[in-house]
C-alpha cells in the first residue's frame, strides 16, 4: 500500500502542470524568491544557538563581543558572549524599551508633563541637570536618556511608569525573562555600579533588538546635538554619546556605557541597504577603542553577508497531497511562514528546501491544518523548519452524498 501511495504521489508530481507564479517546488532546488523582508516590528526572532563563524575573524580587544543580524536573529560571530558582566549605561536599553512600550500602549504620552523628584534630581554620573520640582515632558526625558545617557532623566521615566525606581527594576527583570534573557539581573535602571547587576553580550543583543523594533526610537537616536531648556533660564547641551552615529556610515542608534568595573561598552546598530546589523562590545579599554572595534565588526558583516529571502507565507507547494477516503481525493498545500536567511555572499545556491511530508493523509482535512514542514538546509545543516498547511479542505467520502440521497428519498409529510 505504501509503495502504491508513493508511486501515485510521484506520478502526481511528475504529471503536475508547470509551476505557476507564487508556487514552490519542494522536490527541486528553488530559485531565490523576490519578496520584501518583514519589518523589525513584526516580531523579535530568537538568537541562533550557534554563530555562522566559529571564532571571531577579526581581533577583538575587549571582554565580550557579538555581531548579529536582527531580522533573522542570526549571530555572525561572538566572543565570551555568555559571560555575565556589568555593562554600565547599556543597562538603559531596557529602561528605554519599557518607555517605548509604555508610549505605544498608551500608558504614558510623549507630551506628558513630569515633575522631577528629589530622587531623580539627585542621581550622580551623567546627567541633564534636572532640578527638584522642575517639569519636563516625556519627550525631553526620553531624548535625554537616549542621546545624553542622562541618569536623572532615566530615573524620572522609571518613576513615572511604575511609581518608583525599585518597581521599575522589578518590571525590567520581568521583561528580561519574557525576552529569554536568562543571564541578566538588574538592580537599578541606570547602570550605575551595583552589586549583583549583570548581563551578557547575547542578552544585550536581545534587548537591543527589542528596542530597535520601535520606530519611535530612531526619532531620538539619530540626534547628534540638542539642548534641554529648564524653563528658568538654564539650558543644558546634549551631545550623542554614541559617536558612531556621526562617524560610521549607516549607524543610526545604539547605547554606550562606561564605568571602572564595566570598562567601555557599546551596543551599536547600523543599516545599509535592506540589512541591519548590531555590534555589541563590552569591556573595552577606552571609549575610542570600543567604537573602533564595533566599526570593524560592522565592516566585516556588511562586506561578507547579505539577506537571502528563502520563502514567503502562502507560497503554494507544487501538486496535491492524496487524501485517503476523502472528497476531493487531494488537497493543496502552502507554506505557513516567512523566512529570510543571512548567508555568506556567493553561497546563496547552497540553501536547499527538503520536505517532511506524509505520503498521504486521512480525511477529513480542514483548511489551515498542519500537514508537515519544510526543512531549510545549508551544507547539510538544518537552519530552520517552516510549517506546511492545507490550503483546501477534504471531507470524508460518502457522508455528504449519503445524506443528500437520504433527504431525497424521505417521504414528504401529507
Q: What are the b/e assignments for 278-295, b being 16+ CB within 10 Å? A: bbbbbbbeebeebbbbbb
> Are 253 and 242 a contacting pair, CB within 8 Å?
yes
**Beta carbons within 8 Å of 152's beta carbon, 6+ residues apart:** 116, 120, 121, 122, 123, 127, 128, 129, 130
73 and 16 co-located in one domain: no
123 and 201 co-located in one domain: yes
Residue 404 covered by a domain: no
385 and 320 co-located in one domain: yes
CA-closest candidate to residue 62, choices 285, 279, 260, 301? 285
pLDDT at 237: 97
164 and 262 co-located in one domain: yes
Q: Is 39 a residue of the active site?
A: no
pLDDT at 44: 86
- Extract the C-alpha cell encoding 276: 541591519
Q: What is the pLDDT along the chain (414 residues), one digit of tens a residue?
A: 444 344 334 334 323 334 444 555 554 433 333 333 333 334 688 998 889 999 999 999 999 999 999 998 999 999 999 999 999 999 999 999 999 999 999 999 999 999 999 999 999 999 999 999 999 999 999 999 999 999 999 999 999 999 999 999 999 999 999 999 999 999 999 999 999 999 999 999 999 999 999 999 999 999 999 999 999 999 999 999 999 999 999 999 999 999 999 999 999 999 999 999 999 999 999 999 999 999 999 999 999 999 998 889 999 988 899 999 999 999 999 999 888 889 999 988 889 889 899 999 999 999 999 999 999 988 888 888 899 999 999 999 875 545 544 444 555 444
317 and 388 co-located in one domain: yes
CA–CA separation, 78 vs 53, rounded Å? 8
170 and 283 co-located in one domain: yes
- Extract the C-alpha cell encoding 308: 537571502
Residue of 72, 89, 213, 360 marked catalytic? 89
Residue of 64, 72, 92, 243 marked catalytic? 92
14 and 133 co-located in one domain: no
- Extract the C-alpha cell encoding 66: 557579538
- Extract the C-alpha cell encoding 293: 572595534
CA-closest candidate to residue 384, choices 338, 348, 321? 338
134 and 149 co-located in one domain: yes
Residue 411 covered by a domain: no
pLDDT at 318: 80
**H-assigned helices in 76-200:** 92-105, 118-121, 138-148, 151-162, 165-178
The residue out of 270, 305, 340 marking a domain boundary is 305
290 and 389 co-located in one domain: no
**Beta carbons within 8 Å of 77's beta carbon, 6+ residues apart:** 51, 52, 53, 54, 55, 56, 57, 66, 67
Residue 52 covered by a domain: yes
Q: Is 89 a residue of the active site?
A: yes
- Extract the C-alpha cell encoding 131: 532640578
CA-closest candidate to residue 51, choices 397, 304, 264, 247? 304
14 and 129 co-located in one domain: no
The residue out of 305, 332, 359 marking a domain boundary is 305
298 and 386 co-located in one domain: no
Residue of 126, 144, 149, 394 marked catalytic? 149
pLDDT at 383: 80
The residue out of 255, 275, 305 marking a domain boundary is 305
Domain residues for 360? 2-35+312-399
Within 10 A of 199 (CB to CB), how many other CB atoms are there?
26
CATH of residue 357's domain is 2.60.410.10
287 and 393 co-located in one domain: no
CATH of residue 113's domain is 3.40.710.10
pLDDT at 275: 97
Residue 57 covered by a domain: yes
Q: Is 149 a residue of the active site?
A: yes
Residue 377 covered by a domain: yes
Residue 255 covered by a domain: yes
Within 10 A of 87 (CB to CB), how many other CB atoms are there?
32
Within 10 A of 9 (CB to CB), how many other CB atoms are there?
19
Residue 319 covered by a domain: yes
Residue 93 covered by a domain: yes
CA-closest candidate to residue 340, choices 392, 388, 395, 276? 276
**Beta carbons within 8 Å of 405's beta carbon, 6+ residues apart:** none
Strands 235-239 and 225-229: antiparallel
Distances (CA, A) of 406 to 133, 363, 400, 409, 413: 83, 22, 10, 5, 15
Q: Based on the structure, what is the number of domains in the chain? A: 2
Amino acid at each position: 500500500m505504501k509503495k502504491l501511495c508513493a508511486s501515485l504521489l510521484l506520478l502526481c508530481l511528475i504529471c503536475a502542470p508547470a509551476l505557476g507564479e507564487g508556487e514552490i517546488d519542494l522536490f527541486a532546488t528553488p530559485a531565490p524568491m523576490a519578496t520584501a523582508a518583514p519589518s523589525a516590528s513584526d516580531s523579535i526572532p530568537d538568537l541562533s544557538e550557534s554563530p555562522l563563524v566559529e571564532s571571531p575573524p577579526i581581533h577583538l580587544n575587549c571582554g565580550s563581543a557579538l555581531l548579529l543580524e536582527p531580522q533573522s536573529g542570526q549571530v555572525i560571530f561572538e566572543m565570551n558572549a555568555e559571560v555575565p558582566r556589568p555593562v554600565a549605561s547599556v543597562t538603559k536599553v531596557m529602561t528605554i524599551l519599557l518607555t517605548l512600550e509604555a508610549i505605544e500602549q498608551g500608558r504614558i504620552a510623549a507630551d506628558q508633563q513630569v515633575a522631577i523628584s528629589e530622587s531623580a534630581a539627585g542621581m550622580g554620573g551623567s546627567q541633564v541637570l534636572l532640578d527638584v520640582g522642575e517639569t519636563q515632558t516625556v519627550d525631553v526625558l526620553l531624548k535625554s536618556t537616549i542621546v545624553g545617557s542622562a541618569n536623572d532623566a532615566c530615573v524620572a521615566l522609571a518613576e513615572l511608569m511604575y511609581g518608583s525606581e525599585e518597581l521599575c527594576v522589578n518590571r525590567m527583570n520581568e521583561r528580561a525573562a519574557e525576552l529569554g534573557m536568562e543571564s541578566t539581573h538588574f538592580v537599578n535602571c541606570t547602570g550605575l555600579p551595583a552589586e549583583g547587576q549583570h548581563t551578557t553580550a547575547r542578552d544585550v543583543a536581545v534587548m537591543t533588538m527589542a528596542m530597535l523594533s520601535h520606530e519611535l526610537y530612531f526619532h531620538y537616536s539619530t540626534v547628534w546635538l540638542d539642548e534641554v531648556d529648564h524653563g528658568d533660564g538654564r539650558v543644558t547641551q546634549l551631545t550623542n554619546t554614541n559617536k558612531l552615529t556621526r562617524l560610521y556610515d549607516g549607524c543610526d542608534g545604539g547605547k554606550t556605557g562606561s564605568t571602572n568595573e564595566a570598562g567601555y561598552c557599546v551596543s551599536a546598530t547600523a543599516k545599509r541597504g535592506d540589512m541591519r546589523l548590531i555590534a555589541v562590545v563590552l569591556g573595552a579599554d577606552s571609549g575610542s577603542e570600543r567604537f573602533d572595534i564595533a566599526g570593524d565588526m560592522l565592516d566585516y558583516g556588511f562586506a561578507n553577508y547579505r539577506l537571502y529571502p528563502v520563502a514567503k507565507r502562502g507560497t503554494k507547494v507544487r501538486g496535491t497531497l492524496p487524501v485517503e477516503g476523502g472528497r476531493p481525493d487531494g488537497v493543496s498545500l502552502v507554506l505557513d511562514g516567512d523566512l529570510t536567511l543571512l548567508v555568506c555572499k556567493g553561497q546563496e545556491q547552497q540553501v536547499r528546501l527538503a520536505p517532511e511530508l506524509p505520503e498521504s493523509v486521512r480525511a477529513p482535512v480542514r483548511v489551515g491544518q498542519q500537514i508537515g514542514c519544510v526543512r531549510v538546509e545549508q551544507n547539510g545543516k538544518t537552519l530552520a523548519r517552516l510549517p506546511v498547511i492545507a490550503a483546501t479542505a477534504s471531507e470524508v467520502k460518502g457522508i455528504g452524498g449519503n445524506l443528500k440521497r437520504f433527504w431525497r428519498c424521505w417521504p414528504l409529510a401529507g
